């Protein structure tokens, strides 16, 4: 491995570790503000996508009237959604955590049911797969019964994970030899 490549890899690991540590710490120690910041980034992205779509609606010459109208409606929806996020950042953050909780619960439920459905295709020892499927179904159902609590747990777990990964990458950065 060349010295230049090694230096770039080492810097990338250090930068990634620093960013992961900062974001993880913000999520763990300031969960409300970090959720609002994430909602704000989503709002900004929605507004940017809406503006670009709106610009391209008026620049396209090959589209017929119905396609233009459809793209115009979609761009307005993006813009309105982005603006609504900025109007009430606290509600947007709560909605973000609810969506995280609901999607996690649905994912775990589907995963559990899929595991149960393919049990007969697995090897002879199906005990662990059955236990895993039941845990997945129970976990998904419990999160869906309380998506706010589940979303907060998932959000906090995400922050802890980023913090730990970031710290390990910073350790790796400082221990790599030049």
pTM attached to this predicted model:
0.73
Structure confidence by residue, pLDDT tens digits, 109-126: 999 999 988 887 766 778
Instruction: Please give the residue range of the domain that contains residue 138.
Output: 3-175
Query: 1: which DSSP letter?
Result: -
Alpha-carbon radius of gyration of the chain: 22
Structure confidence by residue, pLDDT tens digits, 152-166: 898 999 999 999 999
The pLDDT confidence band at residue 178, using thresholds 50, 70 and 90, is low
Cα dihedral sign for 84, 85, 88, 90? positive
Q: Does residue 60 have a pLDDT over 80?
A: no
Burial class (CB within 10 angstroms; exposed 0-12, middle 13-18, buried 19+) of 172: middle
SS3 166: helix
DSSP assignment of 105-132 equals HHHHHHHHHHHHHTGGGS-S--HHHHHH
The pLDDT confidence band at residue 61, using thresholds 50, 70 and 90, is low
Q: What is the pLDDT of residue 45?
A: 96
Q: What is the pLDDT of residue 19?
A: 95
Provide the number of structural domains found in the chain. Answer: 1
Question: Out of 54-63, 65-74, 110-119, 132-141, which region has the weakest mean confidence (pLDDT)?
Answer: 54-63
Residue whose C-alpha is closest to residue 25's, from 155, 151, 160 = 160
């Amino acid at each position: 491995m060349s010295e230049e490549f090694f230096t770039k890899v080492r810097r990338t690991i250090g930068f990634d570790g620093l960013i992961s540590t900062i974001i993880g710490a913000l999520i763990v120690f300031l969960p409300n503000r970090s959720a609002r910041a994430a909602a704000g980034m989503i709002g900004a992205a929605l507004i940017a996508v809406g503006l670009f779509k709106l610009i391209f609606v008026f620049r396209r010459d090959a589209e017929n009237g119905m396609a233009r109208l459809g793209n115009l409606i979609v761009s307005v929806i993006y813009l309105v959604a982005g603006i609504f996020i900025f109007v009430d950042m606290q509600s947007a953050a709560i909605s973000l955590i609810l969506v995280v909780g609901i999607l996690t619960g649905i994912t775990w439920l589907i995963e559990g049911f899929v595991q149960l459905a393919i049990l007969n295709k697995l090897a002879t020892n199906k005990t662990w797969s059955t236990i895993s499927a039941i845990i997945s179904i129970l976990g998904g159902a419990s999160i869906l019964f309380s998506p706010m609590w589940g979303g907060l747990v998932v959000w906090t777990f995400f922050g802890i994970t980023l913090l730990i990964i970031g710290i390990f990458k910073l350790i790796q950065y400082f221990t790599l030899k030049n």
